[in-house]
Chains A and B, each alone.
Chain A
Amino acid sequence: MELLITRHVKFQDRRVWLNGIVEHVSEAGSADKLFRSVYRYYDIDYPKFFKMDNLCKLAFLSAEGLLRGTDILQEYPGGEVAIILENASSSLEYDQKHVESIRDQNRYFPSPSVFVYTIPNIMVAEIAIRHKVKGENAVFIFEQFDPGLIYDYVSELFRNQQVSCCLSGWVECYGDHYQSLLFIIEQEDKIKRCKGLQEYVIFDTANMEKLFKGKSL
């Protein structure tokens, strides 16, 4: 059973790449301004986006860039689609924001909408809600992108026939430092269509590393 990366999207340095080609460049310097710029560029109508923390905004937009204009997820039952992500800072930015809101006992007003973003898995939830994904999901925290873990974990999910499709990659955001690489993994023998992408990428650690570092395949 050969597993393939059939689409990949990357956010880094004010740019958005789709399948290795720059799709959008923002003049905005800050993470928040970039995300708003991409939201407008994608022409999305999803008011809840503005309530998300930046980590979720990045995950949401990465999934949006990956899936918009395609019907990939419609071809799989929601329960057979997994989301497996990694990052380094977890939900640290909102963890700190929450701590600030409860530091002063005389002004003790923890915000529910801040607290809800104090786990990194919420970025998986935001993607899952938007795209009706109901399969296995996990977020792993590593200092650096670890394609080996993704390879082992996702391969096992496919081997056990728990999933037919997987969104996976790296979604990292802390302050104005952001970087995402999100890709779709499908089984070669189950791929029924090919829209605009002529060359698939073999799902292995070397190729994930190359995609992450922006090297040509």
Chain B
Amino acid sequence: MIEDLILKLKQEIIDQLQLEGMTPEEMDPEAPLFGEEGLGLDSIDVLELVVLLDKNYGIKIRGPKEGPKIFYSIKTIAEYILNQQKN
């Protein structure tokens, strides 16, 4: 199930963040989203991810302290979504 969600998330992130030329296959779900090692996203992108979770999954990120853990990688986002949906 998490694999399906990761695949869906990849496409949503590509669309929402306008990652031109990027394909879901190229995205390592465990790679960090921020910094030079990963996708190199910036502070505006993290706000877009917050909106994406709200718009597509009805999940609101309340505390700024949660952000770095939730948005570390695509996999951590998927795990957070599944965890929130369980609760």
- A interface residues, Cβ below 8 angstroms from B: 47-51, 109-113, 116
Contacts and interface: CB of A to CB of B under 8 A. Distances in A.
Contacts, number: 29
Contacts of A110: 51
Interface residues of B, number: 14
Contact of A112 (B18, B19, B47, B55): B47
B19 A113 contact: no
A113 B13 CA distance: 13
A113 B55 contact: no
A47 B17 contact: no
Contacts of B20: 47, 49-50
Given A112-B48, A112-B51, 19 more contacts: A47-B21, A47-B40, A48-B42, A49-B20, A50-B18, A50-B19, A50-B21, A51-B17, A109-B54, A110-B51, A111-B48, A111-B51, A112-B44, A112-B47, A113-B17, A113-B45, A113-B47, A113-B48, A116-B44
A183 B18 CA distance: 30
A113 B40 contact: no
B55 to A, nearest CB: 5
Instruction: Please provide the 4 A-B residue pairs with the shortest distance between their CB atoms, ordered closest to farther.
Output: A50-B20, A112-B47, A109-B55, A51-B18
Contact of B19 (A47, A109, A111, A116): A47
